[in-house]
Amino acid sequence: MSESFSAGKEVLSYCGKCKLSLGHIIVSMKDANTLGKVQCNTCDATHMYKDPASKTKKVKTASTRKSKRSVSVGELWTTLIGKASGQAISYSIKSTFIVGDMIDHKKFGPGIVQTLIDDKIEVLFQHEVKLLVHGK
Ligand SMILES: [Zn+2]
């Protein structure tokens, strides 16, 4: 240590009130080499010595934002189409489909059979879910 601190001497400390590194008068020492309380020359506030070099506040990275996001039809479709294997079956009212089948609809394009409801199938297309008749 080249410098020695003692009560009554001036030191540069970060002031929480002024939000600046300013000259402070040492009020008390923790021990011979550790600064204790300091008084701000500018606002007269007495507080613990804060090293100006370490004044940068650690920004909390953890966001409080709740990720309560619902998956859109488009996202679900993309996921399912990505997982689907095999050829898309051209949709026809005469064909019979099962859950998981990838179908190719003339009007709506590729879709995945989601649910079977009696003689109907619920199909997830890129932009909407459609109820189609099958097995006729
Ligand atoms: Zn101050």
Residue 14 C-alpha to ligand 1 middle, in angstroms? 8
* Higher pLDDT among residues 55 and 82, named by residue: 82
Q: What is the pLDDT of residues 106-132, one digit of tens each?
A: 999 999 999 999 899 999 999 999 999
Predicted TM-score of the model (pTM): 0.48
Which tokens sit at 96?
């019979």
- Tell me, what's the pLDDT at 65? 54
For residue 23, report the distance from its CA to the centre of ligand 1, in Å.
9
Q: Radius of gyration of the chain from Cα atoms?
A: 35
Neighbouring CB atoms inside 10 A of 79's CB total: 12
Name 71's Cβ contacts closer than 8 Å, sequence gap at least 6: 79
- Taking residues 20-48, what's their average pLDDT? 95
Query: How confident is the model over 55-81, as pLDDT tens digits?
Result: 555 555 555 555 566 778 899 999 988
pLDDT of 53 higher than 90: no
Domain boundaries, the chain: 10-54, 73-133
- For residue 16, how far is its CA from the centre of ligand 1 (angstroms)? 7
Element (H, E) at 125: strand 120-125
